Amino acid sequence: MNLENLRPPVGLMIVMLALSAHAPYHARAQSPRFHLEEATIADVHRAIRANQLTATQLVQLYFKRIEAYNGTCVKGDLDPATGLMLGDLTPIENAGQLNAYTTLNIRGKRSKTDASDNDPKMPDALEVARAQDAHFARTGRFVGPLHGIPFAIKDNYDTVDMRTTAGAAAAYANDKPLQDATMIAKLRAAGAIFLGKTNLDEYAPASIARSALGGQTCNPYDTKRVPGGSSAGTGAAVAANLAICGLGTDTSGSVRFPSTANALVGLVATQGLVSRAGIIPLSYSRDRGGPMCRTVQDTALVLEAVTGTDTRDHVTAVAHGKKPVAYRNFANKKSLAGKRIGVVREFMIEATIADRDSIRLAHQAIADLKRLGATIVDPVNFDGAIAEIMSSYEPSFFTRTFKEAIPAGADPIDRMVTLTMDPKSLPTGMRGVNLRVIAGQRRGEEGKYGMNVYLQQRGDAKFRSVDDMFATKTFAGDLPVLQNAFGAKAKTLDTPDHASHMLRMQNLQRILYKVMADNNLDALVYPYSTIPPHMVLANRTPEVYNPRTEPRLLKAGTPMSDANLVPGEPVLKTDLDLWRGAGSSWSVNLSPVSGFPAIVVPAGFTREVYDRVPDPKDPNGSRLEGPKPDQIPVSMEFLARPFDEATLFEIASAYEAGTKHRRAPKGFGPLRGEP
């Protein structure tokens, strides 16, 4: 992509230099020189006020970086019929490219169905920036709190001016929706400038960071690895300074996993605080949109701009009457004095040696929280709350999932009383009754329902339902995963599994409320994941290795052939796919299923990693390969009560300030001439 024509005219540059030269001395003396790498929202606004920078210049600088770093990061053949990379891939070490963006917000490059792209009511990124510069020159005021801030937007947010297909090479009659997603509209009103749409796992159900439209996205810290998913492109773009902030969506970790894998701050707010209207859905009960930035303060500023009730999304009714919160005022803390934080140890299980290095960093993070003044409750025990609440509200949890909890001949009600009174009688161990199991619910039927509702609302003449979705022949992801996620064969929502899922969400909320109240906790803490992001997969439909869940690696019920299991740990079985979710995370579903808000913050980098590979001695098995020296980001996740995002920002900002773990990836540094 040639962006030479995006440079400002020489005359404009002279004017800008003159403005800078005639700026008040005190403004120039007190304003530090602007640097693009790792720039924050405050840095940009300070530079604009000091006449060091304009919104137009900033957008041009980011487009230059995108031109330099958004190339292909894998080797693979293009399908001659479609021109898409649908076959096997080979990752490139130190590729120097990321393939994060699929569409750029430049006229003529924004749509495949609107080649003319000449609607003056749909300005592109540079046109928006020029209008903002004119407004600032005329009034001396910003258009909003995000004036001039370049964003990367995941390609499942409806944008009226850019193609929106969730990464699919789908045959829409009009690939540009007729209405912005609510979060998009709010960001526009706040002054955000959208650089483009970013790649994702096709339709967002997995974490291989690959789509038919966009191809493979790579991790800027190790281009042989994925950058997390499904918000892969946003994570890679923000980490490599191809935008200041971005938007992701999270159903089972898709904001928090790529934020973790890219040393970013990622937030999912209380379910209902932010509208999901206009987001291509995966699960109407769990989907949430969220900001991904390099700092806690920037994340807070973005959240401020997008909260509020919305008649297009019924879940936001729970926020009715709640006053807007200036979250930025809570995102500047240095101390954790007075905070009580509970450690969830069951999300820190050293099941294999691959977990060990990340857990080392988690231990250090807990020590840092204590050093910063927090009172640490370690560990937090959930057994009593689980026994009491599940026995009374969902006894089928025991009769279906843990039949051994009710011995043959036992009176079921008496047994529920016993479990309530004596939580120690619960089944224990890796496969016992625990928080991982409670939060491990899956969805299926609702995927079909939600997608069909979205497509009906979008009103495209050619693409109307899940049937049209699966009629598309060009999928880059694992087709069975997509079919399962969107209930391709589902006939009804009235199923025991769906009813159980909806009930489980309420019961997990009850459990968390009780445990946090009993222990007087402000938040819970745990590592988002204890396994680094996996290698880019050679095959789009792996036979042996399903990256979404580790260690679901064998046929159901077959013992795992892994000599690297920690001694004394029970062998896991692959039919229990609820143990680890997206990004091999034990904790992935705690926030989505409960709807409680959560934030991930960088906690350091690994020293060495292990990778799971097929076992040549066992066609149905796998083994761990390593150790390999590799510095991969690790994050801690904090979870608070609903509508207590302010507390999350207090804790996250103090931890960030006291540890300063964020650092830019080495292979994507400043370009020549970049400020």
**Active site residues per annotation:** 154, 230, 254
Kindly state the tokens that stand for 307. Answer: 């909260």
SS3 600: strand
Whole-angstrom Cα distance, residue 560 to residue 554? 7
**How many beta carbons lie within 10 A of that of residue 320, not counting itself?**
9
587-602 burial, b at 16+ Cβ within 10 Å, e below that, comes to bbbbbbbbbbbbbbbb
Taking a C-beta distance cutoff of 8 angstroms, is the pair 486, 451 a contact?
yes
3-state secondary structure string, 548-588? CCCCCCCCCCCECCCCCECCCCCCCECCCCCCCCCCCCCCC
DSSP assignment of 84-132, as one string? ---S--EE-TT-S----EEEESSTTSS-SS-SS---TTS--HHHHHHHH
For 389-418, give one letter per residue: b (16+ CB within 10 A) or e. Answer: bbbeebbebbeebbeebbeeeeeeeebbeb
Reduce the DSSP state of residue 619 to 3 states and report it.
Answer: coil
| 478, two tokens | 């694992």
The rounded Cα 481 to chain-centroid distance in angstroms is 19
Q: For residue 178, with 0-12 CB atoms within 10 Å meaning exposed, 13-18 middle and 19 or more buried, which class applies?
A: exposed
Residues 289 and 277 sit within 8 Å (Cβ to Cβ):
no
How big is the chain by its Cα radius of gyration, in Å? 25
Alpha-carbon gap, residue 369 to 143, rounded angstroms: 38
| Phi and psi, residue 455, nearest 5° | -65, -35
Beta-strand ranges (E) seen in 355-413 are 375-377
Chain centroid to Cα 371, Å, comes to 29
Helix axes 445-458, 496-518, angle to 10 degrees: 100
CA dist., res. 290 & res. 276, Å (int)? 10
